[in-house]
Amino acid sequence: MASDHPLPGATDSASSFSIHESGWLTPARHCLSPHCDARPGNPTIDLLVIHGISLPPGKFGGPWIEKLFLGELPPAADPYFATIAHLRVSAHLLIRRDGEVVQYVPFTQRAWHAGESAFEGRERCNDFSIGIELEGADEVPYAEPQYLVLARIIQKIMQTYPGITRTRIVGHSDIAPGRKTDPGEYFDWPKLSSLLKLTAR
């Protein structure tokens, strides 16, 4: 990014995303996953988990992430798919390489993204978190449009769910160490932090 020039759209777009009280983000493509349910006990939503995913691993642009989240992944389409097609998983949002945003679960519902996990000793992070998947792989840098869109969305999420503070934005590997490695070492946390400052009001 050019340091002498404001990030294009970073400020004017901070307010362009909105979150309806039903938990749906706009603008985004909405595609409800069956892999969600009510948040048990109606907890305060106070954690945001960033993930990375690509299907097959390392390949971008196909329809397979969406098919997985919808429970429609064909096991025979790739040797890897046979090992995961049975999984019932989802995320609230997916941000594709070009910055397209797809929402599979409204924030008010529990998406099934974190699995066995703990944050500050509290288990079952799905109960109280929002999960955002970035289309990517551990060994590949994420794309610039993904950071810009991610920062704008997080800013809106933090306004809507003030329990999600800067120290409560974590990677999947932080809450499931030893089991998960995403979003991977190439995810640029300092860049996300600086973008969040830019988009802050």
Catalytic residues: 133
Q: Are strands 101-103 and 29-30 parallel, antiparallel or unpaired?
A: parallel
- Contact range with Zn ion by CB under 5 A, out of 9-17, 54-62, 80-88, 176-184: 176-184
CA distance 172 to 181: 7
Q: Does 51 bind Zn ion (CB under 5 A)?
A: yes
Minimal distance, residue 49 CB to Zn ion, in Å: 7
Nearer to Zn ion, 66 or 182 (CB): 182
Interface with Zn ion (CB under 5 A), residue total 3
Nearer to Zn ion, 7 or 84 (CB): 84
CA distance 97 to 105: 20
Contacts of 136 (CB under 8 A, 6+ apart): 52, 53, 54, 60, 97, 142, 143, 146, 183, 184, 186, 187
> Torsions phi, psi of 167, nearest 5?
-80, 0
- Contact range with Zn ion by CB under 5 A, out of 2-10, 43-51, 134-142, 158-166: 43-51
Q: Does 172 bind Zn ion (CB under 5 A)?
A: yes
Binding residue (CB under 5 A) for Zn ion from 182, 187, 195, 199: 182
